[in-house]
């Protein structure tokens, strides 16, 4: 028996790399950020809803990147955008960031580097990695993704941050430049993501696609991305389930 790589029905190509959206798909950003915000608030005498703070901070993510995607602002790495958005989130909750030391805020901003993996992520990635190149295809910058991987034990083969592609998803270049760095055709790359909009953009650029359900990414009241909303190549409830779907054993 010899391994035959999964052939994408949508691209007609064998998949050689399985790349992952990271925030929400591989790591639980809401829980991780809320825990660190709660610790910050307790240490400095603030009363706030840490989950709501995490949601507010995250809600500023797409608008900040949109200014870069539209060309209104030059490329700026995600760490910087998160730090700017932290000030706005603090003000929203009645905290003056100018009254908090820059060192403390820099450390709180690093919470995005220390996000916990979903329970199935490490095992699932390790299983997929036995047969495919695995790595993030994320809007995170390289140092953020590297710290995240080391903290959570994510077994990536390669990390190509947005500061290398110099663009943000869902612009086509974010997907195409990543494939180019790997010397792969777009159809040989599969994006696995918990977000249907990300998969739609990847499909339009010629990538294979896989949906992974993360129904609590945004907390218990989540209403979006509960199920696949396209004819993605694969759909799974976990990365370990995706790994099983990618493995085909045929006689040599």
Helices 142-152, 78-92: inter-axial angle, 10-degree rounding: 80
CA distance 49 to 38: 8
Helices and strands counted in the chain (H then E): 11, 7
- The confidence score (pLDDT) of residue 252 equals 36
CA distance 201 to 203: 5
Stretch (H or E) spanning 2? strand 2-4
Both tokens assigned to 244: 């099983």
Handedness of CA 63, 149, 142, 107 (dihedral sign): positive
Mean pLDDT for back-to-back runs of 10 residues, the chain (252 residues): 87 98 98 98 95 98 97 98 98 96 97 98 98 98 98 98 98 98 98 98 98 97 96 98 83 36
CA distance 123 to 86: 32
- The confidence score (pLDDT) of residue 1 equals 55
Please write the tens of the pLDDT for every residue from 130-144. Answer: 999 999 999 999 999
Q: End-to-end alpha-carbon separation of the chain, Å? A: 5
| Of the candidates 98, 115, 109, 112, the residue with the CA atom closest to the CA atom of residue 40 | 109
SS3 content of the chain, % helix, strand, coil (to 5): 45, 15, 40
Torsion, Cα of 195, 117, 188, 232 (10° steps): -30
- The confidence score (pLDDT) of residue 3 equals 81
- The confidence score (pLDDT) of residue 251 equals 35
| 212: β partners | 236
Non-local CB neighbours of 162 within 8 Å, separated by 6+ positions: 77, 78, 138, 139, 140, 141, 168, 174
- The confidence score (pLDDT) of residue 250 equals 44
Q: What is the 3-state secondary structure (H, E, C) of 204-248?
A: HCCCEEEEECCCCCCCCCCCCCCCCCCCCCEEECCHHHHHHHHCE
Domains of the chain (ranges; CATH) run 2-28+115-250 (3.40.50.1000), 29-113 (1.10.150.240)
Q: How crowded is residue 47: how many other Cβ atoms within 10 Å of its Cβ?
A: 8
């Amino acid at each position: 028996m010899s391994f035959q790589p999964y052939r994408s029905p949508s691209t007609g190509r064998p998949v050689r790399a399985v790349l992952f959206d990271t925030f929400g798909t591989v790591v639980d950003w809401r829980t991780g950020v809320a825990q660190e915000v709660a610790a910050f608030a307790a240490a400095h005498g603030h009363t706030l809803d840490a989950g709501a703070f995490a949601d507010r901070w995250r809600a500023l993510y797409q608008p900040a990147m949109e200014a870069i995607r539209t060309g209104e602002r030059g490329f700026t790495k995600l760490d910087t955008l998160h730090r700017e958005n932290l000030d706005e989130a603090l003000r929203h909750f009645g905290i003056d960031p100018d009254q908090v030391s820059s060192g403390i805020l820099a450390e709180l901003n690093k919470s995005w580097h220390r996000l916990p993996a979903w329970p199935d992520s490490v095992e699932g990635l390790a299983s997929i990695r036995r047969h495919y190149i695995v790595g993030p295809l994320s809007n995170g910058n390289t140092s953020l993704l590297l710290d995240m991987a080391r903290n959570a034990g994510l077994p990536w083969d390669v990390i190509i941050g947005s500061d290398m592609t110099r663009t943000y998803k869902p612009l086509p270049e974010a997907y195409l430049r990543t494939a180019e760095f790997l010397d792969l055709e777009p159809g040989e790359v599969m994006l696995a993501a918990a977000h249907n909009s990300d998969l739609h953009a990847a499909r339009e650029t010629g990538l294979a696609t896989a949906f992974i359900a993360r129904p609590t990414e945004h907390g218990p009241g989540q209403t979006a991305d509960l199920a696949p909303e396209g004819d993605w190549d694969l759909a799974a409830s976990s990365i370990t389930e995706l790994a099983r779907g990618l493995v085909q054993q045929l006689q040599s």
